[in-house]
Each structure stands twice: as structure tokens, then as C-alpha cells.
Structure 1
Amino acid sequence: MHGFDLHNLGAYELMKILHELHKLGYQKLRWMSYMAPSGMSLRCHITTQDHIIVNQEIIFDNNQGEVWFTSVGAMTTGKDIKPLVKTFMDENPRLLEIGKGEDSEYVEWFSKLLSLAKKGHTPVFYGDYWTLPIGRIKVGKDTMPTPPTSMRLISWNIDGIKAHFDALKMLVDEYSPEVICLQKVKDINNSLGFEIEGYKRECFSAQYAGVATYVKNCLPCNTNKPHNPELSGHLLKTEFLFPSFTLYNIYTPYSNPNIDGAIEHRKKFDEALIKLVGTTPDRQIICGDMNIVVSEQDCWDGKYKRNQANFHDWERQNFTKLTESGNLIDTFRVFNPFTKEFSYFFRNDPQVRANNQGHRIDYFLASRSFVPQIVKAEIIKDCTVSTNNPILLDIMY
């Protein structure tokens, strides 16, 4: 059979082809369909989550073979799709490459959608003729939730993006995060050479600090810099449309007693951050190198009460005020209550790392309302080029 036959199928037959691909292990492939402006045909797409913007728009990515699409005039033609599955696979090697993997939650959701399509109910993710709230799609005369979607966030004190940009790209290739929050970027020129394909980037520079937030193009958001001087170069705010939440990427100033004004700067930063978080509506995530050891579990020798930076009682008290002001949880500790794992190792000494003699000073704090959606909160142990290990948070929505 020729590939042209694929474009003569009905929407239901195309959905059955995707269902067969799921059985073969290509569960990252997703369906999206919407009515043409004329209302005479249904535009059908098979692609991955990275190319679907809040189930309303498609990113074609310069025709790199990562989106398959066609327009159909009927829900079903009754044609046998079994011989056409191989045709689809032969014609779309790149799509299969990016679609390989497991996603049982999506497969379960798609099976329900397929059962409705079998009855002739047209699945419409977006339409010009009616208004649907974000998070719902129209199926015949009814609606159902949009498919379960994952979001992976990584936070990392990169300690100089110029020195460790190659390691950052390797991290992105391996973990494919939707959001990357970097601290201590130390790039006062916001150099164009540090863009990452498929992501939009926002930076807030400072000579010995600086933060940068990368967000995949499929996630609509707005990022801005606070006007407060205490937060300058240390905080970026990103507001996401769907899922709806506020993200703060922060690099908390180190209260170095040997630098004039450092302790006062830290106290003013803490005060400004607590106020900002306390006035932010529910659904927020705060991540970054927060330069605080909260408990004995967060210090390799258990001696977490010391008269030195990262260990002061007043720093710990400010951290508590922060979590209380935003009704926040320490995601790593909630999901790993008995674990002694650390994100910072002094001078990145290999022997210190080998002996697990570290501190946990990098955090993902999240509103308590996120708890049902959090899948994983962990420290990435195999990226050791800087003193700080990256940390990871996975959520479903």
C-alpha cells in the first residue's frame, strides 16, 4: 500500500493506528485534533507532548518529521488499518524515534477517547465556534479532561555557565526537562551562545550570581524580573498558564562574614522573598540554591547548628517563615523523609563526594496543593562538574 492511503482514512482509523503504535512501545506519541475554520474537516495530528501547546496549538518544528498531520472529512471509513501500521512506521522514522517510551497514564486516557470515537463522537481539542476552558476537550456533545501531562523541572547551581555549558546540554539530553532553573550563572552579558534548542530563555545577570530560566517552547509563560534591589540578579519569576502556577528561580546570597555587607544583604533578601511569596496566590514553586542547611539530616555529620554561614539560627528561622508564608513543603524531604543525601560538596573534592560528606542546600519548595501531583523529588547524583548537584522535581497535571 502507498502512504497516500493514510490520508484517505477517517479520524477513527488514524486513532486506531496510534493505538497500535502504543502497543508496540511508542507511548510518547499523542493525538490532537481540531476542526478546520470551515467546519468541513477535522485536522488530525500525531506527535509528542513537546509539540502541543496547552492542547490548542501545534509546533511544527521546521518540518523535522516530528509532527504527522492530515485533514479528514469523516470520522470513519471502515478501512482495515492493520496493513497500514507498518506503512505509517516506514514513513515516519523520526516520529517513532522521539515517540519511543512508556506513558501508561496517557495510554489509558487515549483508550477511553478511542472508545468514544468508535461510537462516532468527534474529539475536538480546540474550536473556533465554542469556548472550552483550558483543560477540557469536546467529544461529540460531551467534554472530557485533556490528557494527563507531565512536567519535569531541574534546578542547578551551575557555578558558571561558560565553564559547564556542555554539561548542561548533556543534562538536558538525558533528562529532557520542561523547565531548567540555573543559579550562579555568572554571565553578565546574557550571551547568545548559551541558548538551548527547543527552549526560550530569560536571564537576570549579576557578576558573581545571576539566574537563568529555560522553558520548553510548548509551555506558555511570562517571565519577569523584580524591581526590588535586594532581589536583583538573584530571582526570576515565571508565571505559567497551564498548568497554572508561579515559579521562583532563586539564588540566595551567601552570608559570608568575611565580606562587608554580606550578612545584611542576606537578611534583606530573606525579608523581601518572604514578603513576595506571602503575597503570591496559591500554586507556587520556589527552587534554587538557598544556602541553608535546615536539619541534621541535611548535614553529613548531623552538626547543623553552627555559628557560620548556612547554619545560623536566624537563617533557619527565616526559612521557616518563608515556608509558613507560602504554605510550602520541602518536596525532597516529604518524599524522602529518612534519606541522607546531599546536593553540595565542599570544593567539589572527589574524596568528600566519595565519603558522602556534604550538605543539602538546594531545594524545591512547593505549595501543599501540589502534593497529589508530585511524582518524584530527588537529587541527580551523576552530574558532578560543580560543587552543587542538580535537583529534580516531576509533577503530573
Structure 2
Amino acid sequence: MILISWNIDSLNAALTGTSARAEETRKVLTKIHDQNPDVLAIQETKLRATGPTKKHQEILRAHFPEYRYVWRSSEEPARKGYAGTMYLYKKDLTPQVTYPTIGAPEPMDQEGRIITLEFPDVFVTQVYTPNSGNGLKRLSERQLWDAKYLAYLQELDQVKPVLASGDYNVAHTEIDLKHPDNNHHSAGFTDEERVDFTKLLAAGFTDTFREVNGAVEGVYSWWAQRVRTAKANNSGWRIDYWLASNRIAGQVKRSEMMDTGARADHCPILLEIDL
């Protein structure tokens, strides 16, 4: 089974945009399709509450004709066109789809951050974790989210094994970003966020990239768009993950980043597992 997860930074821009960046994004979508994934998880869709427009649907069908899709958008009282998630999965698959709320601080549960697919032998769930924000204004709320999300994954794991992916907005260790010394008080690398991620792994989950690739350095999943030289200099962060319940972690064959060329922001992450 091949699964891919990607923070796309606006599905609308990817599908209908005319900029050079939009063209780059569509090339990545083609590269993803060429991998023939069984499941594709997309974060930060930024779609309106009613979901994909007719034009979006037509383009999705053209690019991914073998797939069905489900989506979840931000809804009141959350901001419009904010966050959001989507799954595309092969038409021969018949997962049960749920859109959980986890009791997070308002309005996080209304920001469209989690979708879960239940298959006969595994849960596949994705998350777009809230960012702690400029000046760490949202850090305390983020910590509450982390606790609630951990409890949710544990609930799933008690039923059957879990594969969890997404933009977790945290670089776990110092080798997960280029400049750790300068970022100990930056959102995504605070002690609090890193401790919470450690707790998540300690609760029975494996960071599959580290499981497969060991302590390799210089491999990241996000490069700041606002810093023009970030991608060229590989000044990045690894904040996107495929996690697996410990009891199936040994069945992972590949866990890797997909190349996006000069395109900054997030890259897709690929997991191959023998289920």
C-alpha cells in the first residue's frame, strides 16, 4: 500500500491558478499521480465551507480519474477559507469516513483539521495541526490541542492499528531543522511542542521516517516561502510525518520526502507499507 500526504497550501490555487507557482504545484500533483498512491491526504486546502466548486471537481476528476475524494473545510465560527483537509482514495477502496471533533479549544474543531478513513485492518487519519502563531500567541491552545489529539489517536489505536499523517507543525529533534540554535523560541520548535510530540510517540506510535532512515540529517519537508534562498540552501524543517502504530511499524518499506524542485513550502511525504 502506498500513501502520500501533502500540505498543498491552497487547493484552489493549485487547480485554477495561473502563476508560475501554480504551474509548479500542478507538476507536483502529476508526480504524485505517477506514484499511483492508494490514498492521498491533502492539508491546508483553504476551500470555502461548501467545499470544491464544480470547476475544482472537474479538474480533480481530470487529474485523478481513478479516485474518489472527501473533504472537510473550515466553518463558522472559524475563519472562512482557512485550513481544511481532503482525502483522495482509489475507487476500489470503501473506507468508512469520519470527521472527528476532539474537544479542542474553539474554534480549532471547526477549522477542518482532521479526517479519518477506517479500513478493515487499519485506520488512516490525517491532521493539520494548529500553528502556535507569531509571538507564540496560540501556544497554550496548541498544547491543549496536542493533548486532545493524542487521546484521539489512542482511542483509534485501541480498536485497530493506525497510520497518521499530516503537517504536525513541529520539528521534533535538532536534526529535524537546519538551524536549531536560532529557533528554540520559534513556533514549531519550542520545548513545549517538542515534548508533546515525544509524548505522542511514547504513547505507542513510530516516526516512520526515522524508523526507516535512522538519524540522517539534512532531509526536510518544509522551506519558508518568504525566505527566497531557503530552498536553494536547503534551510528547512521536517514538520510533516507519517506515524504508525508500533505494532505495524516493522511493515513499513519506505518513508521518504518527494522532490518538488525549486518549489518552496511543503513537499509531499510518501509511505509504503505491507499490510
Identity rate, percent: 28
Give, in angstroms, the shift of residue 349 of structure 1: 4.6
In structure 2, what is the equivalent of residue 236 of structure 1? 115
Question: Does the 8 Å contact 1:348/1:387 carry over to 2?
Answer: no
- Code of the residue aligned with 1:288 in structure 2: it is G
SS of the aligned residue for 1:248 comes to strand
- Code of the residue aligned with 2:133 in structure 1: it is N
Determine whether 1:198 maps to 2:77: no
Question: Does the 8 Å contact 1:211/1:251 carry over to 2?
Answer: yes
Gapped regions of structure 2 (runs ≥ 5): 16-25, 75-80
Judging changes above 3 Å, is the alpha-carbon distance between structure 1 residues 224 and 386 closer, same or farther for their aligned structure 2 residues?
farther
2:39 to 176, 179, 188: 179
Question: Does the 8 Å contact 1:167/1:385 carry over to 2?
Answer: no
Higher relative contact order (CA 8 A, sep 6+): 2
2:91 to 202, 214, 217: 217
Give, in angstroms, the shift of residue 267 of structure 1: 2.0
- Code of the residue aligned with 1:377 in structure 2: it is S
Give, in angstroms, the shift of residue 300 of structure 1: 1.0
Determine whether 1:352 maps to 2:202: no
Alignment RMSD: 2.0
Give, in angstroms, the shift of residue 304 of structure 1: 7.5
SS of the aligned residue for 1:339 comes to coil
Mark the structure with the bigger radius of gyration.
1
Note the 1:142-291 alignment, pairs <5 A: 151-165=1-15, 166-167=26-27, 169-188=29-48, 189-191=50-52, 192=54, 193-194=56-57, 195=60, 196-206=64-74, 207-228=81-102, 230=104, 231-232=109-110, 233-241=112-120, 244-258=121-135, 262-280=138-156, 281=158, 282-291=160-169
Judging changes above 3 Å, is the alpha-carbon distance between structure 1 residues 159 and 237 closer, same or farther for their aligned structure 2 residues?
same
Question: Does the 8 Å contact 1:183/1:250 carry over to 2?
Answer: yes
Judging changes above 3 Å, is the alpha-carbon distance between structure 1 residues 335 and 273 closer, same or farther for their aligned structure 2 residues?
same
Question: Does the 8 Å contact 1:247/1:286 carry over to 2?
Answer: yes
In structure 2, what is the equivalent of residue 6 of structure 1? none
Gapped regions of structure 1 (runs ≥ 5): 1-150
Output the CA distance in 1 between the equivalents of 2:124 and 2:182: 28
SS of the aligned residue for 1:352 comes to coil
In structure 1, what is the equivalent of residue 171 of structure 2? 293
Output the CA distance in 1 between the equivalents of 2:248 and 2:93: 18
Judging changes above 3 Å, is the alpha-carbon distance between structure 1 residues 176 and 304 closer, same or farther for their aligned structure 2 residues?
farther
Question: Does the 8 Å contact 1:212/1:236 carry over to 2?
Answer: yes
Give, in angstroms, the shift of residue 301 of structure 1: 2.8
In structure 1, what is the equivalent of residue 254 of structure 2? 376
Question: Does the 8 Å contact 1:154/1:181 carry over to 2?
Answer: yes
Question: TM (normalized to structure 2)?
Answer: 0.82
SS of the aligned residue for 1:354 comes to coil
